[in-house]
Amino acid sequence: MQHGQGRQTRRRLPGVVALVLAAAVLFVAPAANAAQTAARVDVGGYHSCAVKSGRGIVCWGYNSDGQAKHKVGGGFKLVSSGGLHSCGVKKDHTVRCWGSNASGQAPATPSGSFTAISAGGSHTCGLKIDGSITCWGDNSYGQAPGSVAGSFTSVSAGEVHTCAVKADQSIACWGWDDRGQAPPTVAGDFLSVSAGGAHTCAVKTDHTVICWGSNRYGQASPPAATFKAVSAGNTHTCGVRGTGAIACWGLDSYGEAPPGVTGDFLSVSSGDAHTCAVTIERLVRCWGDDSSGQLGARPARPSPAPPNGSPGTAYSSTFTSSLGVPKGEFRVTAGSLPPGLTLRANGNLSGTPTTAGTFTFTVSASNIIGIENRQFSISIGSASADFALTQSGPANAAIGSTYATTVTVKNNGPDPAAGSLTLSTPEPVKVVDITAPSGVACSSGAGVTLSATCTFSGSASLAVGASVSVTVKLASGQAQQITVHAHGAPDTAVDMVPGNDSSASTTEAVEEAHVMYTSVGDGGFAVSKLSVPNGRAIFWNNSGPGAHAVDDATGLDLFSLIGEAPVSFGEYRFYAAGSYKVLDGSNQQMVKVRIKRSANQGTTSTPFDLTWGSHRAPVGYRYVVAVHRPGQAWSRWKHTRVGSGTFTPDAGTGTYWFRCRLKRMSDDASTGWSRTSIVVS
């Protein structure tokens, strides 16, 4: 449909298959540096189509007659989705149609030069360059009389009627008029019109909306507001308001017509029982009935992480995560791939690396529904080098003292190694000394620094038997951890805690909690929200009858459990406080893992013991713990692998809030927050 022009749908008629219709859409220029974006979306009965910003068309949803084929081709300016067919106008003003042609509504290439097209229930109408209208397909009610005399600026084909805006800004309609939806003439000054099932709506030049025809469900009773565009569906209507938000009215059986949809939208299209719109970011957002997949789905977060490689050795790895519906593509959107490697749109990363080193880049999985990003690092070095990491020094140190902790990376061979050594901390430390063999470049910031880096690549490779050592000391009053990364070796974590408190760095015992049992089946999760203490395991039972998958959707890839038959499934023990989104297809469950408190109230001298992890966080992960003191903003308290701590109130009386989440350091992926509070009097 055209900008400001409604999209049609159909109404259910006795003995007639219910269908939805649409009008044409104007092309909108793509956003700069966008991945996959949509110029416009138009919905049909149970399918949806969109013109991508590159002017190709993609469709999804019910595809009984080929009306929702995935890719149609390029060179299109606009698209219109009807009942069981779709049509588009190309840049050269020719029209191409696909899907059901049972009534002649979708000839492959209708003759003529067109500026707009509108696919109805079983008929199609097009606006020609000279301002005349031609219709084809089912004409049982006079909705497609062939040529329509006059000069028009837009056209909209409904279920079994058609309306158009004339050059003098009045409206003419033809076709079935049993509910008053298609009067021959509607006087007034109009910008656009949208013919629906048995009602019609139009935007006037003062941007108010009026509707006529069937109002059984309130679909012809627009709110008193100004609108940029309106779209009449089968039994509901939606419009883009002057603010950019969307208002809907009429039947809302599937959530297709919420009174208000917040956001900033460019256009909207109403179908039989679903609605889609294009956001200001030129992404498609849909709501309502999804029985045929007509709402689409955003891609999953790119996975799995690609392996490391070696210079001169052929490399191949593939991202296998879902690209959503309609199918999107993988792209590198930040950083650089190792020279010699190429990422294809289907997720295959291949080639022959030419340069040693560690390369960090961001991969996006994007379609017109949404974008998911994930950062990766690939080290290209000698595959036959065996690193060994060792750490020497006391387990703890007093604040401000010279902390003679030394981390050493040694190459045990058999070949020289290329790669890098990085020491990093969440709080400032001071690098006291770096010892490295000749030719290996090491650097650190002046004085207190956040990291030290040594690079051994190319001619400065780390020889067999050689090692790099880094010594640091505390530079602030915060408990800290140091994490060392080296290509080919596991991470090594070192705790630096104040006050020589040796108990703070010991591993806590895992709570032997009972297992919580729940289920998921064809009707979704038995319980939508669960709350458990950290250390508690949840066992999901498949109640069937179909197969189901329970997947961690936090982005941390913690678990993926598949129940292929009733009664099958598995469990996962939640060791970290936080909130976890769990998915079985489109069904969602939220799991809150609680923070444990030694007491929920006390005085300003009461030490409160808080436990947010049943054991130390794995290497590469951190517990992020924040505190909200009375009358203050949230501030970070802990950034640690240790699962517990003691807090003594330091801001007077009142309520202190604490929140925790588990974060992966490599890409900042994390759970949601889990919160608790204490009352101090």
pLDDT in tens, 444-497: 554 444 455 555 544 456 667 777 666 655 444 433 444 444 433 333 333 333
Candidate from 95-99, 275-279, 371-375 with smallest mean pLDDT: 371-375
Phi/psi region, residue 299 (left: phi>0; alpha: psi -120 to 50; beta: rest), is beta
3-state secondary structure of 555: coil
Candidate from 197-206, 209-218, 254-263, 409-418 with smallest mean pLDDT: 409-418
Length of the chain, in residues? 681
Return d(Cα 137, Cα 321) in angstroms, integer.
42
CB contact at 8 A, 166 and 174? no
HSE, CB side, 13 Å, CA atoms: give it for residue 664: 13
Whether the per-residue pLDDT at 420 is higher than 70: the answer is: no
Q: What pLDDT does 191 receive?
A: 93
Which of 175, 223, 244 is closest to 13 using CA atoms?
A: 175
Cis peptide bond prior to 414, omega within 30° of 0: yes
pTM: 0.55
- Between 631 and 383, name the one with better pLDDT: 631
CB contact at 8 A, 287 and 268? no
Q: Going by DSSP bridges, is the β-strand pair 515-521/536-544 parallel, antiparallel, or unpaired?
A: parallel
Residue whose token pair is 């010279």:
402
Residue whose token pair is 């009610």:
141
One-letter amino acid identity for 459?
S
Whether the per-residue pLDDT at 125 is higher than 80: the answer is: yes
Query: What percent of the chain is modeled with pLDDT above 90?
Result: 50
CB contact at 8 A, 573 and 557? no
**3-state secondary structure string across 222-267:** CCCCCEEEEEECCCEEEEEECCCCEEEEECCCCCCCCCEECCCEEE
DSSP class per residue in 270-298 = E-SSEEEEEETTS-EEEEE--TTSTT-BP
pLDDT in tens, 367-378: 999 888 898 988
Give the N- to C-terminal CA distance of the chain in Å, as an integer.
64
User: Dmax of the chain from CA atoms?
Assistant: 92
Give the pLDDT band (50/70/90) at residue 535. Answer: confident
- Paired with 276 in beta bridges are 269, 286
Whether the per-residue pLDDT at 418 is higher than 60: the answer is: no
Q: What pLDDT does 356 receive?
A: 83
For each of the domains in the chain, give its residue range(s) and CATH number, in order of start. 38-288 (2.130.10.30), 315-380 (2.60.40.10), 401-487 (2.60.40.680), 596-680 (2.60.40.10)
Vertex 643, ends 641 and 649: CA angle to 5°? 110
Q: Cα 120 vs. chain centroid, distance in angstroms?
A: 32
Return d(Cα 230, Cα 210) in angstroms, integer.
10
Whether the per-residue pLDDT at 433 is higher than 70: the answer is: no
DSSP class per residue in 292-310 = TSTT-BPPPPP-SPPPPB-
Whether the per-residue pLDDT at 14 is higher than 50: the answer is: no
Tokens of 489: 């070796």
Whether the per-residue pLDDT at 164 is higher than 60: the answer is: yes
Give the pLDDT band (50/70/90) at residue 201. Answer: very high
Return d(Cα 138, Cα 145) in angstroms, integer.
9
- Paired with 118 in beta bridges are 125
The order of strands in the sheet holding 587-594 is: 529-533, 587-594, 578-584, 548-552, 560-563
- Paired with 358 in beta bridges are 379
CB contact at 8 A, 425 and 463? no
Query: What percent of the chain is modeled with pLDDT above 70?
Result: 74
DSSP class per residue in 17-58 = -----B------PPPTT-SS-EEEEEE-SSEEEEEETTS-EE
CB contact at 8 A, 625 and 426? no
Tokens of 5: 């022009």
Which of 567, 671, 565, 590 is closest to 624 using CA atoms?
A: 671
Backbone angles phi and psi of 505, in degrees to 5: -105, 5
Return d(Cα 658, Cα 610) in angstroms, integer.
9
Residue whose token pair is 């999209």:
7
Give the pLDDT band (50/70/90) at residue 548. Answer: confident
Return d(Cα 49, Cα 71) in angstroms, integer.
10
**3-state secondary structure string across 566-579:** CCCCCEEEECECEE
Return d(Cα 486, Cα 411) in angstroms, integer.
10
Candidate from 240-254, 399-413, 491-505 with smallest mean pLDDT: 491-505
Which of 650, 636, 660 is closest to 608 using CA atoms?
A: 650
3-state secondary structure of 428: strand
Residue whose token pair is 């040796």:
502
**H/E stretch holding 512:** none
CB contact at 8 A, 233 and 197? yes
Q: What pLDDT does 392 receive?
A: 63
